[in-house]
Amino acid sequence: MLELVKKNIHMNRWKGNATSQITLDDDFIVPDSMDDVEQIILSSGEITIDSVKNQAERVAVRGKMDFTILYRGTEGGLCTLGGSINFEEPINVPGLEEKDFVQISCELEDLNAGIINSRKSSVKAIITLQVKVETANDVEAAIEVDTKPASGDTPNVETLRKNVDVATIALRHKDTFRIKDSISLSGNKPNIDHILWSELKLRGVTTRPVDGKMMLDGDLMVFIIYQGEGENAPIQWIEESIPFSGEIEVSDVTEDMVPVVMVRLVHKDIEAKPDADGEMREADVDAVLELDMKLYKEEDMELLNDLYSTNRDLGLQTGEACFDKILTKNMSKCKIVEKITLDYADRILQICHSEGTVKIDETEVKEDGLHVEGVLEIKILYMTSDDTQPIQCAVEDIPFHFLIEAPGINQDTICQLNSSLEQLSAVMMGGGSIEVKATISLDLLALQPVCEQIITGVTDSPMDFNNLQKLPGIVGYIVQPGDSLWKIAKKFHTTVDTIMTTNGLTDSIVKPGDRLILVKEVS
């Protein structure tokens, strides 16, 4: 009898995705201890996902948006107002099962802080939630055949094998990385009375797997607006870049794995502190990065594609298995150089700070790769010559498009794209214009689904020699279109080696019109 040696292939298959857009809208009262609102200068928001629950064909997402508003009061000073808006959103995902793996990504599309009256502000935001669903898929495929004597016969089995490149998810892992550092004021800056506004942004983050570890490096951009110490002290700002590098222990990681890593700031805190002389001239920076790691492992797997016997009748049970193979892993850089002109540009004395957010609007698969279109939303904070409005902020959208090369890409390709801002600068030019230079990182992992016929079972029985005797012992054959030596050998009850030896062939490749002598084998 025959027995198949099988291998279990564990894969995660993309099951689908869904997108939901929600609107947040709330009003907030200015505390009695704070000045009346005259003008809103800056606003920012951070989204936190608290829980994600799989339900019957839907995902329940719960989270909040923390916001901060920097405004100029009626008395001319700057004040900071903060708060939170909670949300809970059910997202329909047809076919979702409780065992499926769900990944949520969120993007703050728009944040608008307005003035209702001097003691009341409105906060409106649009949030896009994207759900990506993967499901575990285990396939048993035959990789070898084991022959054992049955009824005195030892089956003479011919096997055809096929090599398949399979990309499986080797591991998923979440971990955190902490950055603690301090910033000192330069000698020409006054002491810190209190911090009015702070921003922490990641730039140029890269990850790299090594055996047992995930390496991480990048820059943490720090921007602080503070009230100087002393009566009538002017508003001051600090901008620093803190480089960081380190490693995270992940015991099962190997260097040959292909990583897809999402890195985001989940905690950030800046606090003024005294220096060695007791003066408030330092700021402690505490940031926590969350790494959501998914690592693929490529394996060259040899599967049984077909088999037959020259002395037994074999019955094959077949099925279809669909695998993912890595089509390309491409880290591209999109460079932007754009000149913009702001309203009242002639009043700008100095640019204090610029920060940007990358927003992908559309991706389209074409013959030459993945076409990406999006905008770089840039905020520019600047000093003006107007004493009543010394600090102003402008928001501009700079569109961009880029081609990520991906040979072989098609409509079935599964594209996992991560975008981030690597570099950004805004410099005053002549004529009241500002030159913006930016570098956007576009990290693409493209997976190509491939479906192959596999052998799932086999039965064998004694050969019907009456049928075998009807076949001619020797036959001349002209190769037809679509033929291969394997198909010819199986049809005429011989072997590929016998055909090659009989016909003096040194290569198993044949082409239509070739003439062959075929000799039937009987055991």
- Together in a domain, 62 and 198: no
pTM of the model: 0.84
Cα separation, 227 vs 233, whole angstroms: 7
Token couple for 509: 């490749």
State the CATH number of the domain containing residue 506.
Answer: 3.10.350.10
Category of 119 on φ-ψ map: left (φ > 0), alpha (ψ -120 to 50) or beta: alpha
* Helix, strand or coil, per DSSP, at residue 108: strand
- Together in a domain, 420 and 509: no
| Domain end marker among 428, 461, 494 | 461
Contact 242, 182 (CB under 8 A): no
Residue with the two structure tokens 């001239």: 281
- Together in a domain, 195 and 248: yes
Residue 355's DSSP bridge partners are 379
pLDDT at residue number 153? 61
Contacts 24+ apart (CB under 8 A), 487-491: 488/516, 488/518, 489/158, 490/158, 490/306, 490/308
- Together in a domain, 26 and 170: no
Following DSSP, what letter does each residue of 65-118 receive, concatenated?
EEEEEEEEETTS-EEEEEEEEEEEEEEE-TT--TTSEEEEEEEEEEEEEEEEET
39 domain-assigned: yes
**C-alpha count within 13 angstroms, C-beta hemisphere, residue 178:** 5
5 domain-assigned: no
Read off the DSSP letter of residue 229.
S
- Together in a domain, 325 and 426: yes
Cα separation, 523 vs 519, whole angstroms: 13
* Helix, strand or coil, per DSSP, at residue 313: strand
Closest C-alpha among 75, 71, 70 to residue 39: 71
Cα separation, 305 vs 326, whole angstroms: 22
Cα separation, 70 vs 83, whole angstroms: 12
End-to-end CA distance of the chain: 16
- Together in a domain, 304 and 173: yes
Domain containing residue 49: 10-137
259 domain-assigned: yes
284 domain-assigned: yes
**Residue 81 Cα distances to 34, 74, 265, 285, angstroms:** 9, 15, 21, 21
Backbone phi and psi for residue 500, each to the nearest 5 degrees, phi listed first: -65, -40
pLDDT at residue number 57? 86
Question: 73 Cβ partners below 8 Å, 6+ apart?
Answer: 34, 35, 36, 37, 38, 79
- Together in a domain, 93 and 175: no
| Domain end marker among 461, 489, 509 | 461
- Together in a domain, 287 and 153: yes
| Domain end marker among 101, 117, 137 | 137
Cα separation, 102 vs 90, whole angstroms: 13
- The structural domain count of the chain equals 4
- Together in a domain, 261 and 409: no
Distance of CA 510 to the CA centre of its chain: 45
Residue-level pLDDT, tens digit, the chain, 523 residues: 678 888 877 777 788 889 999 999 999 999 999 999 999 999 999 999 999 998 888 999 999 999 999 999 988 889 999 999 999 999 998 888 888 888 898 999 899 999 999 999 999 999 999 998 988 777 778 888 887 655 556 778 888 988 888 888 888 999 999 999 999 999 889 999 999 999 999 999 999 999 999 999 999 999 999 999 887 788 899 999 999 999 999 999 999 999 999 999 999 999 999 999 999 999 999 999 999 999 999 888 888 888 988 888 888 888 888 888 899 999 999 999 999 988 777 778 889 999 999 999 999 998 889 999 999 999 999 888 877 778 888 999 999 999 999 999 999 998 999 999 999 999 988 777 899 999 999 999 999 988 888 888 888 888 777 766 767 778 899 999 999 999 999 988 899 999 999 999 998 899 999 999 998 776 5
- Together in a domain, 296 and 323: no
2 domain-assigned: no
Cα separation, 13 vs 396, whole angstroms: 40
Residue with the two structure tokens 């991906």: 406
369 domain-assigned: yes
350 domain-assigned: yes
143 domain-assigned: no
pLDDT at residue number 347? 79
pLDDT at residue number 221? 96
Cα separation, 19 vs 103, whole angstroms: 12
- Together in a domain, 449 and 471: no
Amino acid at 301: M
Cα separation, 88 vs 120, whole angstroms: 25
- Together in a domain, 243 and 221: yes
